[in-house]
Copies of this chain bind each other. A is one copy, B any other.
Amino acid sequence: MPTLENYLESNATRFEDELCDFVRIASVSADPNRKGEMVRAAQWVAGQLRSLNFTVEIIPTSGNPLVFAQSPHVPDAPTVLVYGHYDVQPAEPLEKWTTPPFEPAKRDGKLFARGATDDKGQVLSHIKSAEAVIKTQGKLPLNMKFLVEGEEEVGSVGLGEFLKSNAEKLGSDCIVISDGSQFAPGIPAINYGLRGIAYYEIHLQGPNRDLHSGSFGGSITNPANALAKILAGLIDEKGRVTIPGFYDDVVPLTDRERRQFAELPFVEQEYFRNVGVEGAVGEEGYTALERRWARPTFDICGLWSGYQGEGAKTVLPATAGAKISFRLVPNQTPEKIAAGLKRKLAELTPPGIQLEFIAHHGGPGVLVSLESPYIEAAARAIEFAFSRRPVFTREGGSIPIVAKFAEHLKVDILLLGWGQEDDNAHSPNEKFSLDDFHKAIKASAKLWEELAKISGEWRVESGE
């Protein structure tokens, strides 16, 4: 049998050709006219996995089908669940593409096509790595499950329903997801934490109609004034949220994490310059990276009241409203935040104002212990392929499906993004570095070997 390196090298062109085949399928989940392409993409993935001797099911959902596959059973070995998606974002605006979105084109070592990095190239890296291990070692050293959905770009409704009642079928020791980016070109990363979110809306009703700000101003509580006071009252002078108990459950940053963040090639002034600001305020005592990755926040996402048109209108508005979001970190929960927020809002609401509270979506954060052996296994696998140890990062945003996995499957999740920040994942000229593609296949192949070494004694505590 050939060595892994030899196999990867001699099959590199075919792997690229297969990725081209995959991205030619215009599986745009947002487009109701693409139902045929969705099925073709699911079948294409299923065919890949069947050729590796996996047991494959195409599972119908309320939307697009799930592809679920299991490798031949390996006794006394751990089980890994690989998640990905075969659907892609719409390609519009088409005129902004240098080459057509569904006709893959290679330029400067990159493959340009819709879905190249998000997520077809990354999904295929895991399939091809499994193939490489089988072809060079005769079989996989562990049990693999693949779950590839077709609705990630439109809310994962079908998968969400499936998850609720199929925890056993999806049972595993860890989950591997490659649907994101490295820290920077040449700097691979393991993302071990995501923030959660709690999103609310408040409506303030003052007088029963818009009033003349001259005739009534000063004597009737102005809902816009009240809204400013209420929202300002949710953050103190140190940039901390004032909701009672807000920080009670927050898992603090460890010294190791703070040190690792500080060692990253991240320059605050460059970060600020990139978004056009000269500095920022935030929670006192934390760096910009700590604030965006590992500390909870309060952000006003929308604000409205009174007259927003040209010129001046002397109105004392009847209503005012805001959409507000809190980014949560483990172990905060949207339910507890909502309860504290309601008490705080009641306290801040002045006479003359009726406040209506609306809860939108929410979900907890995710944090994998840096002490997890899965993390260390992934780090070794990445170092093997990329010739440098990965950095350990967290992400300020939420990935709803990851939060759902954490909630329902309760195992460690390895977020190994093989893409780059500038891959234009949701924009014209989406691309994926072919060098990253091949290194990803190599890292994944090594990952299965490393994961297979982990004894069954390790039991996870993540996802709380």
Q: Please list the residues of chain A having a beta carbon within 8 angstroms of any beta carbon in chain B.
A: 195, 197, 199, 201, 206-209, 211-222, 224-229, 231-233, 235, 271-272, 275-283, 288-289, 291-292, 295-308, 311-317, 320, 322-323, 325, 327, 350-353, 360-361, 395-398
Contact = CB atoms under 8 A, between A and B. Distances in A.
Contacts of A218: 282-283, 291-292, 295-297, 299, 327, 396
Given A228-B300, A276-B208, A299-B222, A397 B281 contact: no
A367 to B, nearest CB: 15
Given A278-B352, A361-B312, A320 B301 contact: no
Nearest to A296: B218
A271 B248 CA distance: 45
A99 B299 CA distance: 54
Contacts of A300: 222, 224-225, 228, 305-306, 317
Contacts of A228: 227-228, 231-232, 300, 303
Contact of A396 (B208, B215, B280, B292): B215
Given A224-B300, A232-B232, A312 B292 contact: no
Given A228-B227, A292-B219, A207 B299 contact: no
B275 A301 contact: no
A462 B379 CA distance: 82
A227 to B, nearest CB: 7
Contacts of A207: 275-277
A212 B195 CA distance: 13
A325 B224 CA distance: 12
Contacts of A282: 218-219, 221
Given A275-B208, A300-B222, A292 B216 contact: yes
Contacts of A316: 299, 301
A276 B352 CA distance: 9
A221 B301 contact: no
Contact of A297 (B217, B312, B322, B352): B217
Nearest to A229: B232
A351 B279 contact: yes
A329 B4 CA distance: 85
Given A208-B275, A232-B229, A352 B221 contact: no
Contacts of A232: 228-229, 231-233
Contact of A305 (B217, B280, B303): B303
B315 A301 contact: yes
A280 B397 contact: no
A450 to B, nearest CB: 30
A301 B289 contact: no
A298 B224 CA distance: 11
B327 A323 contact: no
A350 to B, nearest CB: 5
Given A232-B229, A277-B352, A303 B212 contact: no
